[in-house]
């Protein structure tokens, strides 16, 4: 926990111990002293991540009742349920930094904390379930695997389990698209249309370019982030191009080509004005996503009340029994 020690000497020693832990690539744990900015940055990042998992259930959740077979329904249900679990681990990790779940929820509902821009795009066909798994969860994996080594212990440990599940999500998406690509012309067209719609918004998931990402350098120095936005975006493109070829879909970027000299793919510039608009709340589904979350929260009020009443009664009974 952060403290404001009276002696300047102690303050310096605490800071030095913190710096040494980071330099050793070791973990900072909830009871360790940490600079207030580090704590605030982590709360913001972990909360944003938790909110993304929860809001991210919406586009695909809408397809559970319309899954084309029992097998697809079971897979999609399991996947959406995993995302709820990810949200819960991450809210718990965030609570170790001294914020409550209720506060985090309030910050989301009032719009003061964000969630990933990608979940403000709609899922319009069942192919989108596949594309979201392949590309959105694929991008999440690129972002999140390095976070397993992040400097804050509870966050890094939550990420290990989350990444294992994300890898299942990515494969189920790819397998669904592969099945559709082996189907009819109409199914192949449905996959291509879906990939065309998602490609650029997925590239934007890595955030603005490095020269426009003001907090990145500090997060890298603290070991909260391990790679810059542009590095991760490049890694994702390099990983995805051969997968698209195997699948037989075209990625909608005329500038996309292998650069022998760099040993990476060159690719076009996403429309950053679109990302800015989505972040400001003007994406295709921002209003709908927040309205749905708010309604779900209000509808769940009786469950929270019943759970606290039950906890209080059990607690009273326990105390009476202990007397």
Q: Which of 137, 253 has the CB closer to Fe ion?
A: 137
Stretch that binds Fe ion, among 47-55, 64-72, 172-180, 293-301 (CB under 5 A): 47-55
**Nearest CA-CA partner of 293 in 77, 174, 170, 119:** 119
Interface stretch with Fe ion, choices 82-90, 146-154, 259-267, 303-311 (CB under 5 A)? 82-90
Of 164, 154, 42, 165, residue with least CA distance to 89 = 154
Q: Report residue 233 as tokens.
A: 């975006």
From the CB of 110, what's the least distance to Fe ion, in Å? 24
**CB of 82 vs Fe ion, minimal distance in Å:** 6
Q: How far is the CB of 230 from Fe ion (least distance, A)?
A: 23
State which residue, 86 or 227, has the beta carbon closest to Fe ion.
86
Q: Please select the residue that binds Fe ion; options are 27, 49, 51, 86, rule is CB under 5 A.
A: 86
Cα distance between residue 9 and residue 21, in whole Å: 19
* Least distance in angstroms from the C-beta of 137 to Fe ion: 4
Q: Please give, one letter per residue, the 3-state secondary structure of the chain.
A: CCCCCCCHHHHHHHHHHHHHHHHCCCCECCCCCCCHHHHHHHHHHHHHHHHHHHHCHHHHHCCHHHCCCHHHHHHHHHHHHHHHHHHHHHHHHHHCCCCCHHHHHHHHHCCCCCCCHHHHCCCCCHHHHHHHHHHHHHHHHHHHHHHHHCCEHHHHHHHHHHHHHHHHHHHHHHHHHHHHHCCCHHHHHHHHHHHHHHHHHHHHCCCCCHHHCCCHHHHHHCCCCCCCHHHHHHHHHHHHHHHHHHHCCCCCCCCCEEECCCCEEECCCCCHHHHHHHHHHHCCCHHHHHHHHHHHHHHCHHHHHHHHHHHHHHHHHHHHHHC
Shortest separation between residue 91's beta carbon and Fe ion, angstroms: 13
Q: Which is nearer to Fe ion, 167 or 187 (CB)?
A: 167
Q: Does 60 bind Fe ion (CB under 5 A)?
A: no
- Does residue 83 belong to the site contacting Fe ion (CB under 5 A)? yes
Q: What is the dihedral of CA 17, 23, 25, 30, to 10 degrees?
A: 30
Instruction: Choose among 53, 44, 55, 46: nearest CA to 297.
Output: 55
Please say which residue, 53 or 253, places its beta carbon nearer to Fe ion: 53
State the number of binding residues for Fe ion (CB under 5 A).
6
Out of 90, 97, 119, 137, the residue judged to bind Fe ion by CB under 5 A: 137
* Nearer to Fe ion among residue 166 and residue 253 (C-beta): 166
Which among 23-31, 58-66, 75-83, 93-101 is the span making contact with Fe ion, rule CB under 5 A? 75-83
- At its nearest, how many Å lie between Fe ion and the CB of residue 49? 9
28 vs 46, which CB is nearer to Fe ion? Answer: 46
Q: Pick the binder of Fe ion from 169, 188, 226, 227 (CB under 5 A).
A: 169
- C-beta of 90: minimal distance to Fe ion in Å? 9
The window from 49-57, 114-122, 207-215, 308-316 that contacts Fe ion (CB under 5 A) reads 49-57
Residue with smaller CB distance to Fe ion, 22 or 202: 202
245-304 residues near Fe ion, rule: CB under 5 A: none
Region of 20-28, 46-54, 173-181, 267-275 interacting with Fe ion (CB under 5 A): 46-54
Q: Which stretch binds Fe ion (CB under 5 A): 163-171, 178-186, 218-226, 285-293?
A: 163-171
Helical axes 36-55 vs 101-109, angle rounded to 10°: 70
Interaction site with Fe ion (CB under 5 A): 53, 83, 86, 137, 166, 169
């Amino acid at each position: 926990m952060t403290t404001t020690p009276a002696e300047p000497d102690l303050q310096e020693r605490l800071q030095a111990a913190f710096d040494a832990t980071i330099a050793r690539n070791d973990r900072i744990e909830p009871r360790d002293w940490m600079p207030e900015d580090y704590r605030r940055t982590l709360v913001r990042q972990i909360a944003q991540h938790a909110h993304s998992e929860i809001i991210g259930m919406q586009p695909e959740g809408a397809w559970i009742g319309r899954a084309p077979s029992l097998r697809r329904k079971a897979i999609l249900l399991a996947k959406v349920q995993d995302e709820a679990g990810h949200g819960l681990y991450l809210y718990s990790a965030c609570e170790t930094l001294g914020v409550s779940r209720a506060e985090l929820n309030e910050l989301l509902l009032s719009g003061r904390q964000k969630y990933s821009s990608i979940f403000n795009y709609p899922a319009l066909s069942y192919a989108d379930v596949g594309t979201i798994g392949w590309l959105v969860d694929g991008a999440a994996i690129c972002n999140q695997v390095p976070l397993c080594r992040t400097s804050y212990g509870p966050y890094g440990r939550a990420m290990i389990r989350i990444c294992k599940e994300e890898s299942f999500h990515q494969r189920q998406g790819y397998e669904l698209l592969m099945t559709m690509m082996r189907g009819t012309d109409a199914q192949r067209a449905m996959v291509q249309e879906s990939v065309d719609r998602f490609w650029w918004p997925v590239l934007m998931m890595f955030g603005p370019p490095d020269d426009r990402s003001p907090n990145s350098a500090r997060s890298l120095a603290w070991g909260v982030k391990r790679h810059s936005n542009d590095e991760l975006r490049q890694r994702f493109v390099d990983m995805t191009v051969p997968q698209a070829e195997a699948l037989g879909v075209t990625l909608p970027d005329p500038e996309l080509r292998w650069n022998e000299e760099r040993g990476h793919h060159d690719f076009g510039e996403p429309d950053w004005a679109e990302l800015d608009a989505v972040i400001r709340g003007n994406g295709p589904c921002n209003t709908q996503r927040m309205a749905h979350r708010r309604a779900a929260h209000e509808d769940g009020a009786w469950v929270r009340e019943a759970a606290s009443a039950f906890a209080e009664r059990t607690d009273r009974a326990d105390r009476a029994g202990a007397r």
